[in-house]
Amino acid sequence: MTKLLLFGYGNPGRGDDSLGPLLVESIQQLSFLHIVKLVDMQLLIEHATDLTGFEQILFVDADVSCEAPFEFSTITAEKDSSYTSHRLSPAALLFIYEHIYRCNAPPSCLLRIRGYHFELGSNLSTEAHANLHAALRYVQNTLMGFHPST
């Protein structure tokens, strides 16, 4: 059974906003067992069903406000202001999961990779590309240490 969900989200048509999906696609080329990779443009309420059956979830997104090259943090279910908005936060998605399934959401983390240019039609910036590689090294080392329970 698969135990870890690696969920990258962002719009590939908006330059550095593609950092989440790019990291997941890079990991996809490696052979890590017990890991499911999921990519989408944004988090949606419907994604609560995708969180079932995992021991841990790692959300990956671009962020213009975090420190370079990236910030890693644990997150918990929380009904925040995004709960009813068009753009859902990972914490709000976990809250929805708990509301639907009436149980605790899997332990979750958020990796925010520093982005700079999010204009429609722009390419990945040089700075974001460097941050992506730093985050990729971090995730590879983290995943190598992930041993699902049996």
Q: To which residue do tokens 């890079």 refer?
A: 26
Domains and CATH numbers, the chain: 4-144 (3.40.50.1450)
The predicted structure's pLDDT at residue 82:
65
The predicted structure's pLDDT at residue 87:
76
The predicted structure's pLDDT at residue 150:
47
Torsion of CA 68, 31, 35, 8, to 10 degrees: 40
Q: pTM (2 decimals)?
A: 0.91
The predicted structure's pLDDT at residue 1:
47
Low-confidence ranges of the chain (pLDDT < 50): 1, 150
The C-alpha atoms of residue 141 and residue 4 are separated, in whole angstroms, by 15
- On the 0-12 / 13-18 / 19+ scale of CB atoms within 10 A, 44 is middle
The predicted structure's pLDDT at residue 143:
74
The C-alpha atoms of residue 75 and residue 85 are separated, in whole angstroms, by 19
Using one digit for the tens of pLDDT, what is the confidence trace for 109-148? 999 999 999 999 999 999 999 999 999 999 988 876 665 5
